[in-house]
Amino acid sequence: MLFDRISGIEFNALLITGDISSAPHLAGHLRELAEACAPRQLYFILGNHDYHHGSIESVDREIAGICRSAKNLHHLRGDEIIPLTQNTALIGHRGWADARAGWGNRTIIGNRDHHSIRDFSNLTRAELLAKMESLGKESAVAFRRILPLALSNYRHVVVATHVPPFPNAAHFNNQPCGPTHQPHFTNLSAGMALIGITRNFPFRRVTVLAGHTHSPVHIRILNNLEARVGGAITGNPGIQDVLEFF
């Protein structure tokens, strides 16, 4: 089991880049993960699936309460810089597919979120896509606020987000996403912010860790910017990798 693996390997902190559970079961699963990880730190962001059968506000409120009671559980919401080593820090924000990549709002592909998250219910198609763009831009705003400060103080910054922020990092079934799927598999707003900021710090390094698409990808965006997207099998969670920072 995943809990046994977490308890049985050596690491200093665990990072989860979303899609942990669904809203009715998320709190219980996070508590179990925190217990398996303790006393080590568990950092996480939430993915779109974590809000299924709930609303964004109610889930965020419940998770804030859990994090207050579990001292090793930390929800990354784009408002803090967490030192991992003397040279490396962690920041994070959930991210959301922002309906801007590929065919953008001309896509003919739908998304299960629109039927499973209360924030999207009863919206027209145009309103749904506008809501997605708004949620995606929240990450861009967060990164523009906090990443420059992190890069001013650390040589290497790890950025955790759920949806891949670069179109060429978004694969599905181990194949690059086509233009019809890209609006639902990429957060272009966040990607543009990350590229612009990182270019301004040529002697610093940024590593983006994402999930969402279930297909593993490791690519270099700039000389000092790389992206790693974790693979996943529904119902069979696992540990992607053990990364060492100095």
Read off the pLDDT of residues 81-113 as tens digits, 9 standing for 90 and up. 999 999 999 999 999 999 999 999 899 888 889
How far is the C-alpha of 172 from the C-alpha of 16, rounded, in Å? 19
What is the CATH number for 201? 3.60.21.10
How far is the C-alpha of 31 from the C-alpha of 45, rounded, in Å? 15
User: What's the pLDDT score for residue 223?
Assistant: 98
Q: What end-to-end distance do the CA atoms of the chain give, in Å? A: 30
* Residue 244 included in any domain: no
Q: Classify residue 84 by burial, with Cβ atoms within 10 Å: 0-12, 13-18, 19+.
A: buried
* Residue 109 included in any domain: yes
User: What one-character DSSP code corresponds to residue 187?
Assistant: -
Backbone angles phi, psi at 217, to 5 degrees: -145, 140
* Residue 153 included in any domain: yes
Neighbours of 62 (CB within 10 A): 15
Tokens describing residue 197:
């900021």
Report whether pLDDT(241) > 90: no
* Residue 236 included in any domain: no
Average pLDDT of the residues in 33-51: 95
pLDDT band with cut points at 50, 70 and 90 for residue 134 = very high
How far is the C-alpha of 43 from the C-alpha of 75, rounded, in Å? 6
- The residue range of the domain holding 84 is 2-229
**By the 8 A CB rule, do 75 and 67 touch?**
yes
pLDDT band with cut points at 50, 70 and 90 for residue 4 = confident
Backbone angles phi, psi at 231, to 5 degrees: -85, 165
Contacts of 10 (CB under 8 A, 6+ apart): none
Number of structural domains (the chain) is 1
User: What's the pLDDT score for residue 140?
Assistant: 98
β-bridge pairing 205-210 and 156-160: parallel
pTM: 0.95
User: What's the pLDDT score for residue 6?
Assistant: 79
**By the 8 A CB rule, do 7 and 33 touch?**
no
* Residue 145 included in any domain: yes
* Residue 139 included in any domain: yes
pLDDT band with cut points at 50, 70 and 90 for residue 246 = confident
* Residue 184 included in any domain: yes
Enclosing H/E stretch for 69: helix 56-69
* Residue 88 included in any domain: yes
Tokens describing residue 94:
């959930």
